[in-house]
Amino acid sequence: MTKSVSHPPRALPQSQIPILNNYYRSLFDAHGPQHWWPGRTRFEVIVGAILTQNTSWSNVEAAIRNLRAARLVSPAAIEAVPVTKLARLIRPSGYFRQKAKKLKSFTAFLFSRYSGSLAHMFRTPTQILRERLLSVHGIGPETADSILLYAGDHPVFVIDAYTRRILERHNLATSKHSYEELRALFESSLPRDPQLFNEFHALIVHTGKHFCRKSVPRCSECSLSSFLPASFMSRGVSSDVGHRPLDPTQ
């Protein structure tokens, strides 16, 4: 099972990304450790990372409960079960037929390249393993990075819709910036500490769900309100900021 952080990871050097350091500290001071990702084993974390695509976590939890009840929470069990039965069990997660094939594709990859061993897989250097995961059917950048960070303790920052929304509303990025550009923003500006990445991303998810909501955001109640540009508070995110280079020190 992945480790959770019970105290803030080491402080960031003053020469590095002061704005993200301040964001992290404000979030942690307000909300504390998030103990994310929930999962009894590393394989459950991987299953959750695949099942959570295009659905809520509560739906994923229902699907994982079904898998536990059927004793299908190991790579060998997923590899052996008929795909039709697997699809029925994960139906609560939505897109269940496609996701059953994705789970099968992952376990096929795990057995063909790593003899079914997650320990062996996670000993692979981060960039090499990331490229291999991205070659697996149904695993895109966000899912691959969630597997690497939360199941494998690799120093990779996960970019999701919550992260993008917060960055854009705070004028740290625009809609034109790619996933890889946003990932590079965090990874090049923060210490390569998986515990820090884990906690920071989990705090972003919490903030996106409860404060920086897609509609009717609760800005005045958010711990990041002091960093929010006045332009957003008065008239929303400007649409004419353009595709300027990411500048984390602004």
What's the CATH code of the domain at 205?
Answer: 1.10.1670.10
Q: What is the pLDDT of residues 25-61, one digit of tens each?
A: 999 999 999 999 989 999 999 999 999 999 999 999 9
Distance CA 191, CA 15 (A): 11
Contact between residue 59 and residue 89 where contact means Cβ atoms under 8 Å apart: no
In sequence order, what DSSP letters do the residues of 11-51 get, joined into one string? PPPTTS-HHHHHHHHHHHHHH-----S--SSHHHHHHHHHH
Q: Which of 95, 121, 151 is the last residue before a domain boundary? A: 151
> What CA–CA distance (Å, rounded) separates 38 from 151?
10
State the burial class of residue 21 (Cβ atoms within 10 Å of its Cβ: 0-12, 13-18, 19+): middle
Q: Is residue 29 part of a domain?
A: yes
Is the residue at 98 inside a domain?
yes
Distance (Å, whole) CA 158 – CA 181: 12
121-to-126, 153, 217 alpha-carbon distances in Å: 10, 12, 40
**Cβ-count burial of 129 within 10 angstroms (0-12 exposed, 13-18 middle, 19+ buried)?**
buried
Domain that residue 109 falls in: 42-151
Which residue matches tokens 């972003």?
A: 204
- State the pLDDT at residue 216: 93
Distance CA 89, CA 67 (A): 6
* pLDDT at res. 220: 92
Q: What is the pLDDT along the chain (250 residues), one digit of tens a residue?
A: 444 444 444 433 443 356 888 999 999 999 999 999 989 999 999 999 999 999 999 999 999 999 999 999 999 999 999 999 999 999 999 999 999 999 999 999 999 999 999 999 999 999 999 999 999 999 999 999 999 999 999 999 999 999 999 999 999 999 999 999 999 999 988 999 999 999 999 999 999 999 999 999 999 999 999 998 877 766 444 333 333 445 444 4
Lookup: tokens for 208 = 């996106």
3-state DSSP assignment of residue 190: coil
Q: Is residue 245 part of a domain?
A: no
The CATH number of residue 103's host domain is 1.10.340.30
Residue 30: how many other CB atoms lie within 10 Å: 15
In the listed set 151, 179, 208, which residue is the last one of a domain according to the structure? 151
* SS3 letters across 196-244: HHHHHHHHHHHHHHHCCCCCCCCHHHCCCHHHCCHHHHHHCCCCCCCCC
Q: Is 10 helix (H, G, I), strand (E, B) or coil?
A: coil
Do 196 and 212 share a domain, yes or no?
Answer: yes
**5, 153 in Cβ contact below 8 A?**
no
Q: Is 2 part of a structural domain of the chain?
A: no
Question: Which one of 130, 151, 172 terminates a domain?
Answer: 151
**The pLDDT of residue 2:** 45
> What's the pLDDT score for residue 68?
98
Number of domains in the chain: 2
Whether 225 is covered by a domain: the verdict is: yes
User: Residue 175: which H helix or E strand, with range?
Assistant: none
Residues 64 and 99 in one domain: yes
Distance CA(52)–CA(199), nearest Å, equals 19
Residues 92 and 116 in one domain: yes
